[in-house]
Structure 1
Amino acid sequence: MLTHCPLFPLVPQAEPAEEARRLHTEGGLIPVRLPGDVAAWAAVDHTTAQLVLGHPELTKDAAYWPDLVSGRVPDHWELIAVIRGAGMLHAGGDDHRRLRKLASSAFTRAPIAALEGRITEIAGQLLDDLAAAGPGPVDLRERFAHRLPVRVICEVLGVPDTAVAGLRAAFERLVTPQEDGADDIRLAQAEIHRSLTALIAAKRAEPGDDLTSALIQARDDGDQLSEEELVETLFLILIAGHETTVNLITNAVHALLHHPGMLAAVRDAALEGGGAGTCPHAQGTPPDAYAGDGSTGDATTGDPADADIWTALVDETLRFSSPVRHALMRYAVKDVDIAGVRVARGEPVLAGLYAAGRDPGRHTDPDTFDLTRPTRRDHLAFGHGAHYCLGARLARLEAGIALKALFTRYPGLEAAAEPERLASISVQGVAALPVYLNAAADRQSG
């Protein structure tokens, strides 16, 4: 049981790769101490993390966590916002299936494929804006990687881009809390609820052909969503979903800038007309690994041996630098054995998605970023099982288009400074990504 174990400390400020290496020396399922002196189990290799994510005796419903129900874990705990709520992210069983079904139609293959042209257009517009900004370093995260998925998801939901600004700031306060962050958490939660309630009222008054109107219609006609569920479902789709895509894009660029050989391959592909050819020396995982239901691999189909270099870049980034660091939290509905460890009823279990991607038992030389890696699709960055990321297909499409457009327009892109990492248990990325778009010219004028 957790109460009898020495606990490995998980801290927001830890360097993820170093943390992953240390975790792998401890075993597949290890006891950890989260901020606030909260104990949990962590699955840190690929096999154990996959088992945890799809385990039938682990639920996302926090009502099964005695320490939370009793108040031992307080309402102002700094991670409370990412483990408790009324949306699909925190629901289990029938409630999760009901909530997911209402939103899933917008994220199936045909609607997402139909967005390709629009995503390409938005990426081009944003790169035009960068070109007009003049010489010198730019923050690629703020000026490009963030704005692209925000505009896309706002169009899917039928809401204005301006609806995201305040919500984004509130979300970032939730996932990167400060030491004295109890009041900050409450204020952020109140701001999110207030903003989304106003947005829902506006869409009720003027509905459109969009996902927000469809969710409101389900709430008003079929009573399938409570008002709180509606608010949290919109929040999950609008903010929590797009933020991981921001980190996927920036993590890809950041990794390339630290691996000159892979950067050279990407530049060559860009200079040859956008990289329509296949990734050099690409080797595939069996096609049945891409069923698209989250049971194995990612939500795409086809043999990755035929993948172009941009697809390979997205694949390897998801393995090498998962946008989600630790997936919190699941709870044992009864005593259960996982990887040879007895997890008692009610004990919390998290999945270390970043660590699973760096599993040396799964990947040769896992700390090297290699677009030709035959196991690059073998990751859990989008989760696994019933809670497999609803927006995985959209995230992959956006990232592939964004990266191809960026390096085709700016093949000479270089780092301007080493970025500061986000200090967070749940998300993984950089707070800013300063780059020179045209390195030689920008350095002279900067």
Structure 2
Amino acid sequence: MTTADDPFIAVRDGARHRALAELAAAGPVHHMRLATGADAWVVTGHAEARAVLTDPRVVKSGASTSPFGAELPAELVTALDSHMLNTDPPEHTRLRRLVSAAFTRRRVEALAPRIERICDELLDGLEETLKAEGEADLITAFAAPLAITVICELLGVPPGSREDVRAWAGPLLAGRFAGYEAYHRASEEMVAFLRGLLADKRRAPADDLLSALIAVRDGEDRLTEDELTSMVHLLLLAGHETTVNLIANGMNALFADPAQLALLRAEPERLPAAIEELLRYDSPAQVPIPAITAEPIEVAGRRIPAGENIVVALLAVNRDPARFPDPGVLDLTRDAGGHLAFGHGVHHCLGAPLARLETRIALAALLRRFGDLTLAVPAESLERLPSLIINRLATLPVRRGH
């Protein structure tokens, strides 16, 4: 595989899926050099991915394996990466139990009316931009501000800090692709901000998730300071990035298939099921947090020694023809249940209900308000941001009419 075909750094839209399909056709597990420079076993088969993601011998290796974990000051690493995605049971069980006690489904569902209002306001702005300029970037005008506003309001981040959070999110999500200086600077500024925010919430608790996380108890157990800053860091980044990508990738897929877009506009009641197919078809994340083998394992007949990196390629797994017939076809009528876009096993995404809720409301409002919205550039000109973890379009220019 050439660098240009590497599925994790390919930027031309569609190139990642093509490269992964070629890889998967040769078998469900492969040893390869990642774009980050690390060697890893990349799993592309659906059944194999489910097995790996639930195998107790495949473990997280802690915060030290985070981007630049060996180079950054230790206090920054522990302040940002002491969260449940980097831990295994029983520590993971403890963290998830504490966080789940505050981040409840009821709290998420109560956000629906507010999400609808935010959508309406952003779509007003989108309409004005389209009238004035003829086209707009659906990510910067709608998907990104919607997602960052919702997660910040949920957590209790002041409105004046949200642009800073979005700025820090760029290098923190890009990891090694951002370069050490940008990543280090964003880490320092994020940690300082989070510590100040925690201090403010302790002085004046509010009806928000951050205050609830500070207060949550399980007997004598509670989240430590590093666990709190790490959890809020995780929620801020993953809690908005997944939704941004789900909305943008979903609309991009629908623009490319006018018949499916027409079906959804004609039958909006299909939206919940359609979102599952959009998650399967072009997942918002490329891989879960990578793991390592604590002892030798066998995957699809191949022996993987202890101490090896394991990466599950979600874009390939969710298009495995052994699990999903005609996987490269967008079919909003299919049963897409069983996709692994939100992971699998104990690390299944805690924020999945929020991403689904936001996307359902966002797509419903967008399709209702803009019945003639189309892509404003040739589809082949769209590009993705280089990343190991995320699957994000750089821009999604749209216009009205045909």
- Aligned: 1:100 with 2:60: no
Kindly provide the amino acid, as one letter, of the partner of residue 421 in structure 1.
R
TM-score, normalization by structure 1: 0.80
Quote the Cα distance in structure 1 between the aligned partners of 2:192 and 2:114. Answer: 30
Aligned partners of 1:38 and 1:73 also within 8 Å? no
1:33-53 superposed Cα distances (whole Å, 9 cap, x missing partner): 112431111111111111111
Quote the Cα distance in structure 2 between the aligned partners of 1:377 and 1:179. Answer: 33
Aligned to 1:415: 375
Residue from 348, 366, 381 that aligns with 1:406: 366
Aligned to 1:256: 254
TM-score, normalization by structure 2: 0.88
Quote the Cα distance in structure 1 between the aligned partners of 2:7 and 2:20. Answer: 11
Kindly provide the amino acid, as one letter, of the partner of residue 214 in structure 1.
A
Quote the Cα distance in structure 1 between the aligned partners of 2:271 and 2:337. Answer: 13
Aligned to 1:299: none
Q: How does 1:121-136 map to 2 (within 5 A)?
A: 121-133=117-129, 134-135=131-132, 136=134
Quote the Cα distance in structure 2 between the aligned partners of 1:406 and 1:73. Answer: 40
Kindly provide the amino acid, as one letter, of the partner of residue 409 in structure 1.
R
Quote the Cα distance in structure 1 between the aligned partners of 2:55 and 2:270. Answer: 34
Quote the Cα distance in structure 1 between the aligned partners of 2:82 and 2:308. Answer: 21
- SS of 1:176's equivalent in the other structure is helix
Aligned to 1:62: 62
Kindly provide the amino acid, as one letter, of the partner of residue 31 in structure 2.
P
Residue from 191, 196, 212 that aligns with 1:214: 212
Identify if the C-alpha distance between structure 1 residues 393 and 229 changes in structure 2 by more than 3 Å, giving closer, same or farther: same
Kindly provide the amino acid, as one letter, of the partner of residue 187 in structure 1.
R
Q: How does 1:240-389 map to 2 (within 5 A)?
A: 240-269=238-267, 275=268, 308-374=269-335, 376-389=336-349
Quote the Cα distance in structure 2 between the aligned partners of 1:234 and 1:435. Answer: 33
Aligned partners of 1:59 and 1:331 also within 8 Å? yes
1:5-28 superposed Cα distances (whole Å, 9 cap, x missing partner): xx9955422522112212212311
1:274-326 superposed Cα distances (whole Å, 9 cap, x missing partner): x2xxxxxxxxxxxxxxxxxxxxxxxxxxxxxxxx3211321111000000112
Residue ranges of structure 1 left out of the alignment (5+ in a row): 1-6, 270-274, 276-307, 441-446
Identify if the C-alpha distance between structure 1 residues 9 and 121 changes in structure 2 by more than 3 Å, giving closer, same or farther: closer
Aligned partners of 2:171 and 2:178 also within 8 Å? no
Identify if the C-alpha distance between structure 1 residues 19 and 431 changes in structure 2 by more than 3 Å, giving closer, same or farther: same
Aligned partners of 1:10 and 1:33 also within 8 Å? no
Aligned to 2:10: 13
Kindly provide the amino acid, as one letter, of the partner of residue 320 in structure 1.
Y
Identify if the C-alpha distance between structure 1 residues 393 and 173 changes in structure 2 by more than 3 Å, giving closer, same or farther: same
1:140 CA displacement: 0.9
Which stretch of structure 1 is more off in the superposition, 102-111 or 258-267?
102-111
- SS of 1:396's equivalent in the other structure is helix
Aligned to 1:91: 87
1:118 CA displacement: 2.1
Aligned partners of 1:53 and 1:385 also within 8 Å? yes
Quote the Cα distance in structure 1 between the aligned partners of 2:230 and 2:117. Answer: 30
Quote the Cα distance in structure 2 between the aligned partners of 1:143 and 1:180. Answer: 24
1:55 CA displacement: 1.3
Aligned to 1:233: 231
Over 6 Å off, 4+ runs: none
Quote the Cα distance in structure 2 between the aligned partners of 1:180 and 1:241. Answer: 20
Identify if the C-alpha distance between structure 1 residues 355 and 362 changes in structure 2 by more than 3 Å, giving closer, same or farther: same
Quote the Cα distance in structure 2 between the aligned partners of 1:115 and 1:168. Answer: 21
- Larger helix share, 1 or 2: 2
Kindly provide the amino acid, as one letter, of the partner of residue 23 in structure 1.
L
Aligned to 1:25: 25
Aligned partners of 2:85 and 2:289 also within 8 Å? no
Quote the Cα distance in structure 2 between the aligned partners of 1:312 and 1:414. Answer: 22
Quote the Cα distance in structure 2 between the aligned partners of 1:109 and 1:213. Answer: 17
* Residues matched between the structures, number: 386
Quote the Cα distance in structure 2 between the aligned partners of 1:180 and 1:114. Answer: 36
1:342-400 superposed Cα distances (whole Å, 9 cap, x missing partner): 222221111111111111211222111111123x2231000011010001111111101
Aligned partners of 2:6 and 2:19 also within 8 Å? no
